[in-house]
Every structure is written in C-alpha cells, then in structure tokens.
Amino acid sequence: MISALAGTANTDETPEAPKWLRDEQTLRAGRTEWREGGCARCGPKKAARRRRPFGRTVGTMRIVIAGGHGQIALRLERLLAARGYEVAGIIRRHEQTDDLRAAGAEPVLCDLESASVEEVAAHLQGADAAVFAAGAGPGSGAARKDTVDRGAAVLFADAAVRTGVRRHVVVSSMGADPKHEGDQVFDAYLRAKGEADAYVRGLDALDWTILRPGQLTDDAGTGLVRLEAATGRGPIPRDDVAAVLAELLETPATAGLTLEVISGSTPVSVAVKSVAGN
C-alpha cells in the first residue's frame, strides 16, 4: 500500500523540506528538524537519518490525530509510522492503547467531549501537524453528533491555533452542510460536520485541508481514487482514504481546499498533486 501511493522514485538525495514545515510560524525555536545533524528535540542519533520506505530521508515530524482509535485513524497511523513520522493518537478509553501501539502510534488519553481547550492544547505541544478524525460513530444520537462531530472538531481546531500548529487536516463527510435540512440523526450528523468545516475554514491561523470521503467500505485499498472539489457520490475503501490523508499531509499546496474523494482510476499521489495549488 505504501508503494502504491508513494509516487516518488527511490533516491538517496535529501529533498528540501516542505514550506509549511520550514515556516517559522510552524517551527518552534531551535527545531530545525531538516538539518543534516537531526532535530533539537530528538537529537541527531534518532532523527538524522529516518528513512521512508520509498527512499526519502526526513527528520522526525510529529503528527497528532484526534479520534486515534477510529478505523481510518488506525490505518493512517500505520502509514505515517511506516514513513518515519512520530505519531500520537488521542483516545478516550485506556483499553484502546494497545491497538494504537500496534499501529505505531503513541496513545494519548483525552476525552474531547469534556476537555478544555487548554488540556487539548497541552497534547498538541511540539506537534507539526494535526488531523481531526474523530466521530460519534454509528448508534449515537443527534446530541453526540453535535458534541463530537461539531464540538470536538471546533475544540481541536482552537487548540491547534493556541499552540501554533498550523497544518490541520479534517476528515469530514460528503454532503456536510450547516444548512442541511431534516430531522433524522444522519441529518444532524451532516449539519454538525458542516458547521465544524465552516468554523475551521474561518480560522486564518490554520493551513487547513478538509477531506470529504464518499461511502466508506472495508474493501482492500486499490491506491486509485477520484479526488476533486465535487466528485459525485460513490464508495471508497478506508485504506484509500488513509492513503489520501497521508499524501495531503505531505502536500502543503492543498491548504485551503475542501475535497471530495471516491474510488477512481488515478493513483493517490497523482490525484493529490493534480489538486494542489488549485
């Protein structure tokens, strides 16, 4: 799966760091993680020559994922850990910690429905990027759609602003709209997601990207997608959603975009490059 989305030939050359990683607003003082000697936080031995499977060498970059035990989040954690990133997943239950460790992520216990912005911000300290992948999940009522899919997303974004973590990727839903009408639980879900998306888009302090997948399946990923501002409805394996998220995190020119994704015929890396900067 990694090779399917890589889109980069093997090379021993160290690439220039992405702009958002080099940006002084993202890097804290003393954290020049792309220099040859390694990073100030990790030291040269740990960070100097971390190699991704497809041949690029990077410094250790920390990514924090809200909703770290979700089905997409666990897949994303495995991908990012395999690429050499330092990954942390925010979870509510202690019994979920082993699953995160197995995925290569550091478990962070925090209930986003009851935590303060200060508490969440403390967990984002030292991060270079944040991903909101939390959701109330099937079987939950309209009230929890509001507290998790809207409230927790807003809280997480505010915490990212407070700590200066600019790169911010949100897993939303196709059809999300704050003005969506209807009285069913799914209608409340689409309104909650839409309100959260609108809030994040209004934060100038974030370099946000919002991803809206189609109908999620547990089929094996193909590495082939359709990624556009509007794709129309269709299914997509969770594997491929995670692959797109990983590629978006590495593509700073996708900041400011709200994208839909379904299964298609374009390799993930090519699809992301095609929308970057649009």
pLDDT, one tens digit per residue, over 191-218 is 999 999 999 999 999 999 999 999 999 9
| Sign for the pseudo-dihedral over CA of 66, 129, 231, 236 | negative
pLDDT at 59: 55
* Domain 61-275 class in CATH: alpha beta
Rounded to whole angstroms, the Cα distance separating 114 from 108 reads 15
What is the amino acid identity at position 34? Answer: W
pTM score: 0.78
| Structural domain spans, the chain | 10-60, 61-275
Supply the pLDDT for residue 142.
87
Residue type, 26: T
* CA 207/CA 238 separation, integer angstroms: 24
**Which parts of the chain register pLDDT below 50?**
1-58
- Cα-based torsion angle of the residue sequence 167, 178, 151, 187 in order, rounded to the nearest 10 degrees: -120
Q: How many CB atoms lie within 10 A of CB 5?
A: 27
What pLDDT, on a 0 to 100 scale, did the predictor assign at position 182? 87
Identity of the amino acid at 198: A
DSSP annotation string for 132-177:
E-----TT--HHHIIIIIIIIHHHHHHHHHHHT--EEEEE--TT--
What pLDDT, in 10s, does the model give residues 224-273?
999 999 999 999 999 999 999 999 999 999 999 999 999 999 999 999 99
CB atoms within 10 A of CB 3: 9
Question: Which conformational region is residue 43 in: left (phi greater than 0), alpha (psi within -120 to 50 degrees), or beta?
Answer: left
